[in-house]
Amino acid sequence: MSAVLAIIRRDLLLAVRRKSEVFTALFFFIIVVSLFPLGIGPEAALLRQIAPGILWVAALLATMLGLARLFAPDHADGTLEQMVLASAPLGLLVAGKIAAHWLTTGLPLVLLAPVLGLQFGLEADALGVLVVALLLGTPLLSLIGAIGAALTLGLRGGGLLLSLLVLPLYVPTLIFGAGAVEAHISGMGAGGHLSLLAALLALAVFFAPWAATAALRIALE
Amino acid sequence: MSNVTNSILFKYATPQNFYPLAGKMIPWFWGVGALLFAVGLYISFFVAPTDFQQGEGYRIIFIHVPAAWMSMFIYLVMAMWAAIGLGLNTRLSSMMAQALAPTGAIMAFISLWTGAWWGKPMWGAWWVWDARLTSALILFFLYIGFIALQAAIDDPRRADKAGAILALVGSVNVPIIYFSVKWWNTLHQGASVSMTKAPTMATTMLWGMLIMALAFWAYAIAVALMRVRAIILEREAHTDWVKELPEVKQ
């Protein structure tokens, strides 16, 4: 367990020292979300209706940005090989890296989303559901994305390929995440969607670090 | 008995022995496939009655439905071969998975394309965001991702293993994607068209569809075997047995 905490602490420290990467993803999120009203028009009712979908799609894309950098720097300077050789199980270390990735890219999105939701005229309770859904969904994005990041490690055009691999796998997260807010607005209640998101998260917490570790071992062979 | 089957299995698990066997099997599958296509197309165009609701346009389902079945089934077969290749480290299994992927992608594409042709006269729209259509589209994306990942990796063994992990993750995800899309679709009732309550089919229609499905099977097997032979030649090009092959020597 201490190894996991050490990895998280190290990655957070690296992120703090290189703030620009975190802020790039965050501003990408803000800009993408702000582009939609410009493309669609300022009609308030329409914007309120499509707000959950837009915020979620933007969150998917912003998470993608950081994924290519999840293992690549450690691969380049040889840290990753030392992790494979370390006495702590590689799976735990990978889980720690995924947790750090979520803390640096997912959590800021969750905290920022309500502000952007206000721009789209979402009510306070809908914003609450949005935050809960993102809180359950963004770790899922980091977990699934880690598999793709490990598979494409060190490949030509890795970043583009990564999005091709990972985005189709994000579909259920998108559907249940955006659906939770829409269901709440339409009066059906978001409980079912949130439960399904939580179930997917539980499944991914168990399997994704394991699959990502297997993919890393293949990439390093 | 089990020893005999085992030894046969092991014998043909090596590319060197499988290559000539596949070569012998290919003409048979082409022949059977061509025959089934001829019979199936004859039934679908001339024997099967005109549908009283959909007119002649319904006949496209004789292509559409088998292609949709194959696109789903091939993904499972591909994931199975990939898993065997990953677990038992058998090279031929991974080559089979690689050989099946383009055929599966083509099937997914055909089912989407013919679906659009069917949808325009029947529903009045080329595309609706129906649960089946959407999950077929995502299945197509999964195939493309698998092919792209394998194409991006130069080392064939790494490509095999990475592709296997992706195929396995995909096959876990396919049911999740299907049900999520289904529930998403029921939430947005607007565009949905129910196909689950299909009217009962005339027997000749059913026969036509089954024969066409078998024809697609034969085609898929023949093409996959041809592709796996090409992959074997490519990967084993450095070996003596490939250099001794008459088709390589000339």
Are A132 and A176 in contact by the 8 Å Cβ rule? The answer is no
pLDDT along chain B (250 residues), means of 10: 72 85 91 92 82 75 89 93 90 92 95 87 80 86 93 89 92 84 65 48 80 93 94 87 80
Say whether A171 and B177 touch across the interface (CB within 8 A): yes
Number of domains in chain A: 1
Q: B184 CB near a chain A CB, below 8 Å?
A: yes
Residue B67, token pair as written in the block = 């292609």
Q: Has residue A27 got a pLDDT over 80?
A: yes
Count how many residues are written for chain B. Answer: 250
The CA distance from B222 to B28, in Å, is 8
Residue B130, token pair as written in the block = 């129906």
Say whether B165 and A167 touch across the interface (CB within 8 A): no
B138 to chain A nearest CA, in Å?
Answer: 6
In a domain, B10, yes or no: no
Q: A218 CB near a chain B CB, below 8 Å?
A: yes
- The type of residue at A212 is A
The angle subtended at Cα A199 by Cα A193 and Cα A205, nearest 5°, is: 135
Per-residue pLDDT at B200: 59
Helix (H, G, I), strand (E, B) or coil at B188: coil
Radius of gyration of chain B measured on its C-alpha atoms: 21
Per-residue pLDDT at B186: 66
The CA distance from A51 to A29, in Å, is 13
In a domain, B12, yes or no: no
In a domain, B148, yes or no: yes
Q: Provide the CB-side half-sphere exposure for B171 (13 A, CA).
A: 18
The angle subtended at Cα B178 by Cα B173 and Cα B182, nearest 5°, is: 145
The CA distance from A209 to A215, in Å, is 10
Number of domains in chain B: 1
Residue with the larger pLDDT of the pair B52 and A79: A79
Percentage of chain A exceeding pLDDT 70: 100
B126 to chain A nearest CA, in Å?
Answer: 22
* Residue B55 φ then ψ, to 5°: 70, -150
Q: A50 CB near a chain B CB, below 8 Å?
A: no
Q: What is the DSSP letter of B198?
A: P
Say whether B149 and A183 touch across the interface (CB within 8 A): no
* Test the A interface: residue of B86, B129, B169 with most A CBs within 10 Å: B169
In a domain, B3, yes or no: no
Residues of A in contact with B176 (CB under 8 A): 172, 200
Per-residue pLDDT at B16: 84
Per-residue pLDDT at B182: 78
Pairs of residues, one from chain A and one from chain B, whose beta carbons lie less than 8 Å apart: 70
A211 to chain B nearest CA, in Å?
Answer: 7
Per-residue pLDDT at B207: 85
Are A59 and A133 in contact by the 8 Å Cβ rule? The answer is no
Nearest to B148 among A161, A172, A182 (CB): A161
State the residue range of the domain holding B164.
Answer: 19-191+201-249
Say whether B162 and A219 touch across the interface (CB within 8 A): yes
In a domain, B156, yes or no: yes
The CA distance from A167 to A141, in Å, is 10
pLDDT band at A123 (very low <50, low <70, confident <90, very high): confident
Per-residue pLDDT at B199: 53
Residue B30, token pair as written in the block = 């082409």
Q: A198 CB near a chain B CB, below 8 Å?
A: no
B170 to chain A nearest CA, in Å?
Answer: 7
Say whether B165 and A156 touch across the interface (CB within 8 A): no
Q: B152 CB near a chain A CB, below 8 Å?
A: yes
In a domain, B7, yes or no: no
Residue with the larger pLDDT of the pair B53 and A119: A119
Residue A210, token pair as written in the block = 């394991």
Q: A199 CB near a chain B CB, below 8 Å?
A: no
Nearest to A156 among B152, B166, B180 (CB): B152
Alpha-carbon distance values, B167 to A102, B144, B172, B223 (Å): 25, 11, 9, 20
In a domain, B2, yes or no: no
- The type of residue at B214 is L
State the residue range of the domain holding A149.
Answer: 2-220
Single pTM value for the model: 0.87
**Neighbouring C-beta atoms of residue B18, cutoff 10 Å:** 20
Nearest to B109 by CA among B148, B151, B143: B143
Q: A179 CB near a chain B CB, below 8 Å?
A: yes
B206 to chain A nearest CA, in Å?
Answer: 34
The CA distance from B138 to B174, in Å, is 9
Residue with the larger pLDDT of the pair A209 and B130: A209
B192 to chain A nearest CA, in Å?
Answer: 16
Nearest to B158 among A165, A196, A218 (CB): A218
Helix (H, G, I), strand (E, B) or coil at A95: helix
Alpha-carbon distance values, B51 to B61, B96, B121, B202 (Å): 12, 40, 13, 9
Q: What are the beta bridge partners of residue B55?
A: B51
Say whether B145 and A165 touch across the interface (CB within 8 A): yes
Mean pLDDT, to the nearest integer, of A163-192?
88
